[in-house]
Amino acid sequence: MKRYIFFSVSFILLFWLFHVLTGMILTWMYTPNAEEFWHTNTDLSQETVLQTNSSTAVSFVISFLAASIAYVISSVFGKKA
């Protein structure tokens, strides 16, 4: 039971960390094209539309990477406990 709790906690922390780092990298790399938006939107709407371009594959890869690292961590530190 102790190994399961250790694995679960390390998986959740790593999964959160990878999502935060991915978001920071994507934000850092994003360059808006304000001139294009200025010319195409003559009548701006008052409605906010949120769109996402993330795919399921990216989430799957991040969760697999987090689970793999969490398994290695629980295996290494689980033997010592």
- Quickly state the pLDDT bin for 52 (edges 50, 70, 90): low
**Does residue 39 lie within any of the structural domains?**
no
**Does residue 72 lie within any of the structural domains?**
yes
**Does residue 18 lie within any of the structural domains?**
yes
**Does residue 41 lie within any of the structural domains?**
no
Token pair 């999964």 is found at 15
Range of the domain at 73: 1-28+58-81
What are the pLDDT digits (tens) for 17-47? Answer: 888 888 899 889 888 777 777 676 666 666 7
Instruction: Give yes or no for residue 58 having a pLDDT over 70.
Output: yes
Task: Quote the CA–CA distance of 4 and 63 in Å, as a whole number.
Answer: 17
What percentage of the chain carries pLDDT values higher than 70? 72
**Does residue 23 lie within any of the structural domains?**
yes
